[in-house]
Structure 1
Amino acid sequence: MSTIPTDPIWIDQNHQLAELCERWRGQGAVAVDTEFMRSETFYPIAGLLQIGDGQGCYLIDPLAIDELEPLRALFQDPGVTKVLHACSEDLEVFQRWLGVLPEPLFDTQIGAAFAGLGFSIGYANLVNTLLEIDIPKGETRSDWLQRPLSVPQKKYAALDVAHMLVVYGKLLKMLRETGRVEWARADSADLVANAKAVPDFESYYLKLGSAWKLRRRELAVLRRLSAWREREARERNRPRNRLIKEAGLWELARRQPSDRAQLQALKDVPAHTQVEEGEALLAEIQVALAEPESDWPERLDPPLGRAEAPMMKALKRHVRGIAESLALPPELLVRKREYEAIVRSGLKGGAFELPPRLKGWRFELLGQGLLDAAEQQRSSLPDEEEEQ
């Protein structure tokens, strides 16, 4: 077996990157990773791009490279699979820095899960499992915007892509033997599709865990404030919580202060937030309260309770049986919120429905069984009159 090159090769010239991208577009796959910073910003700041091609580990400097079209062309080349690991945050980096996402994409964490190596396995553990090679993680919290990068930083970054193509090849072999390659590719493609989705600021209030406790008028305020926070965080490039935390949004929706004095009485809206954002928050509340009642959001469903427990257990039992037969973790097949969505779809007496993700290849595997299991447990659900 030939030695895998692990020495970092620094790239900070436009012509170097252009030449490499042209070469990489002639091969079937490249390994990709990023290092970034985002502690003080909403958007991640690209500090380093690593690409491994089996011949070298290239560290591309985003702070020096400013001709990005060759890289965009590589990322959009349908003939080159971009191999990453647990890449959700990497996709955010590419979206902000390059304006494009890598397609087609193969996520080795997803591939490893379908290969039976565990759910959400870390990259270092995966390399150790498949190749018996230890990868140090000492530079995880480094400052990737400093220049020059230290020798340990460069070595660490290079190792993140040095072995990835070999890991990818081994995973493909394992997945082909079990007929699961397309499952892994489909779930990897879902990551890209989700990253492309246009954010709906008006629906962000739905992500607040206690929103179901609020009445419609309060929800109208919460919706307005949540949308304001999302827009402002992006426009100012500041973390959401630096503007106002969720607890503050919830309290504002409940109390609906109309002036500075009432605002100052709220314990979950800190003094610095009142000073910096107070006028804006009060104005948003007044706009929300001026909306006609017909435009207020409907009340949200409470968390599922005891009455729905038998159906939840039946659904999970069905999935667990299939997962065990395939030697796969059940959570890889169906997520918690998807079980809940199935149950909720039938609470009003209509037909049970599957969430979109369960209508692809998962439907053939377990979709109809989930619908049947739900229907068999329908009698355990409270009817609409009882809920009211």
Structure 2
Amino acid sequence: MSAEGPTPETPIDEGAGAAAEPVPVPLLELRDGLPGVVDTEAALAECCAAIAAGTGPVAIDAERASGYRYSNRAYLIQLRRAGATTYLIDPIAFDSLQPLQDAIGDAEWILHAATQDLPCLAEVGLHPAALFDTELAGRLLGYPRVGLATLVETILGAGMKKEHSAVDWSTRPLPAPWLEYAALDVEVLLELREHLVAQLEAAGKTEWARQEFEHLRGFEPGVRAEAWRRTSGLHRVRGRRGLGAVKALWEVRDELARQRDVTPGRILPDAAIVVAASALPQDRGALLSLRGFHGRGAERYANRWVSALREVAALPEEDLPARAPRTDGPPVPRAWAEKDPVAARRLSRARTTTSARAEELELPVENLLTPDSLRRLLWTPPRTREPEALAAAVAEQLAGYGARPWQIELATPLLVEAIIRADIEPEPGAEDAEDAEDAGDAAAGDTDGPDGTAED
């Protein structure tokens, strides 16, 4: 890859005009035919022997039933290794996959978007000794789109069908077209890794990637505090009692979904929760007359919904949730100009310089330094302003937030400059700082308060 950034490795017809039809990309096909599903102890032993005898890293992927099941468990695990074929393992059929963990040993895993699959793989006893994430490598290399199909088309010049990405993988037996889709996902990872390794080396980003992958290896999904605040449409609910109703209905729905192992939205959609929280009906008839309360889940559990709403209606005001969620972090950025104008100047200057530096390095700015780390440090920076001592303190603070050494090395000089200059040189138009911060939030994709996004 050149210093100017990643380019497709497929040939380009330079003589073609702007109106020329795009050259169709050949679709990937399975090299070894469709493998059978490994769902017996004998088949698992054969798979493990082949994987153990193979060489090099192991491509691995997992399919879950997001949108259908409450749990995040793996319903299919795919593997491929040089010297072995592709294997499709049904983890539901086994009490333990320890033989597979032993067969892989300390070989490197290749995954795409590792944070999606590592938790469900750990749940069945599979843990990487080392890993390579093709999606994260693509981000570090500055690819604007890093989905697996896009990277495969851009780098390998082949297309992937993705029509089965959102199917119910808890279905048994799994249809052959779904299995072919799943097998192709790992078939490309070995070759894709080779190209990305070469590009990282050419770009001088190999060490960055190594640190990122090592950090990923210890990834554990956090539990979101007050997860009910993710309810889509929450911003339309007025008053603390309305918020309390959303919280109560969300918690009842979550309990039912966990018991039945179905995605919560299949019991009651977010839109219905918001409608009920706004109307606050106190009896079954009034509830079932509302928009969204006509499905099986709404009617089947109507008494539970009404009971929850009645409990909220009886709560004293001080026991109801407030609009702003509880947090140990700094205030929302749009409030900084009023609460601490110097901090607002620090943030504005740092956003500008880190964005420019990330662009120079062909990185998404959030990969240079997470927005949360940036805000936390600039709201409560070290007290010293002596440049060397400040740099050391900034580096220590960033490390405490989980920043990797390569990020600390690149970001620290920018943050030190922002801290010092904001203290001694107010920016022009500082009286408009709040408007500038709001514009900066929008440009950086930051949102404050309830985000109104749908559940994953």
One fold, TM greater than 0.5? yes
Query: 8 Å contact 2:59–2:109 — kept in the other structure?
Result: yes
Partner SS, residue 174 of structure 1: helix
How does 1:324-343 map onto structure 2 within 5 Å? 324-333=359-368, 338=372, 342=375
Contact 1:112–1:171 (CA<8 Å) still a contact in 2?
Answer: yes
Determine whether 1:80 maps to 2:125. no
CA deviations 1:311-368 (Å, max 9, x no partner) are 8765543232111221223354456x649x829985xxx6699898674443432256
The residue correspondences of 1:147-186 to structure 2 (distance < 5 A) are 147=173, 149-150=175-176, 155-186=180-211
C-alpha deviation, 1:282, in angstroms:
1.8
104-113 or 290-299, larger mean C-alpha shift: 290-299
Paired amino acid for 2:375:
I
- Tell me which amino acid in the other structure corresponds to 1:203: E
The secondary structure found in structure 2 opposite 1:238 is coil
Instruction: Report if the CA contact (8 A) 2:110-2:133 is conserved.
Output: yes
Alignment partners' CA distance in 2, 1:230 and 1:193: 28
Q: 1:248 aligns with which of 244, 265, 272?
A: 272
- Map Cα deviations across residues 123-145 of structure 1 (whole Å, 9 max, x no partner): 23323433344445566567764
CA offsets per residue over residues 126-174 of structure 1, 9 Å max, x none?
Answer: 2343334444556656776454753x65554433222312322332333
Structure possessing the higher radius of gyration over alpha carbons: 2
Partner of residue 284 from structure 1, selected from 308, 314, 323: 308
Change (3 A) 1:44 1:208: closer
Output the amino acid matched with 2:278. Answer: R
* C-alpha distance in 2 between matches for 1:181 and 1:211: 43
In the alignment, which residue of structure 1 is the partner of 2:239? 215
From 318, 324, 329, give the equivalent of 2:353.
318
Q: Which amino acid aligns with 1:220?
A: G
Cα offset for 1:7?
0.7
Q: Which moved more, 1:43-52 or 1:165-174?
A: 43-52
Checking the alignment, whether the CA contact within 8 Å between 1:6 and 1:56 is kept in structure 2 is no
Letter matched to residue 364 of structure 1 = E
Counting only pairs closer than 5 Å after superposition, residues 367-382 of structure 1 correspond to structure 2 as: 369-370=414-415, 373=418, 376=422
What fraction of aligned residue pairs are identical, expressed as a percent? 24
- For residues 322 and 342 of structure 1, the distance between their equivalents in structure 2, rounded to whole angstroms, comes to 17
* CA deviation profile, 1:214-266 (whole Å, cap 9, x unmatched): 43333333223222222322221112111222222223333332222332343
Mean Cα deviation higher: 17-26 or 305-314: 305-314
2:59 pairs with one of 14, 20, 31: 31
CA–CA separation in structure 1 for the residues paired with 2:256 and 2:154 = 44
- Taking the TM superposition and a 5 Å limit, the aligned residue runs for 1:1-388 are 6-8=31-33, 9-10=35-36, 11-21=38-48, 24=51, 29-43=57-71, 46-62=74-90, 65-70=93-98, 73-74=101-102, 77=105, 79-91=106-118, 93-94=120-121, 98=124, 102=128, 104-116=130-142, 118-137=143-162, 145=171, 147=173, 149-150=175-176, 155-188=180-213, 195-197=220-222, 199=223, 203-208=226-231, 210-211=233-234, 214-270=238-294, 272-291=296-315, 293-300=317-324, 314-333=349-368, 338=372, 342=375, 346=379, 359-361=403-405, 362-366=407-411, 369-370=414-415, 373=418, 376=422
Instruction: Give unpaired runs (5+ residues) of structure 2.
Output: 1-28, 326-330, 338-343, 383-396, 435-456
* Distance (whole Å) between structure 2 residues aligned to residue 332 and residue 322 of structure 1: 11
**Are residues 185 and 230 of structure 1, via their aligned partners in 2, closer, same or farther at CA, if it must alter by over 3 Å?**
farther
Shift of 1:186: 4.9
SS at match of 1:53: strand
Change (3 A) 1:196 1:344: closer
Distance 1:32 1:88 in 2: 13
1:354 and 1:217 map into 2 onto residues whose CA distance is: 39
User: Does structure 1 retain, via aligned residues, the 8 Å contact 2:349–2:418?
Assistant: yes
User: How far apart in 2 are the matches of 1:354 and 1:310?
Assistant: 19
Judge conservation of contact 2:57–2:109 (CA < 8 Å) in 1. yes
User: What do you get for the CA RMSD once the two structures are aligned?
Assistant: 4.3
TM-score, L = length of structure 1: 0.74
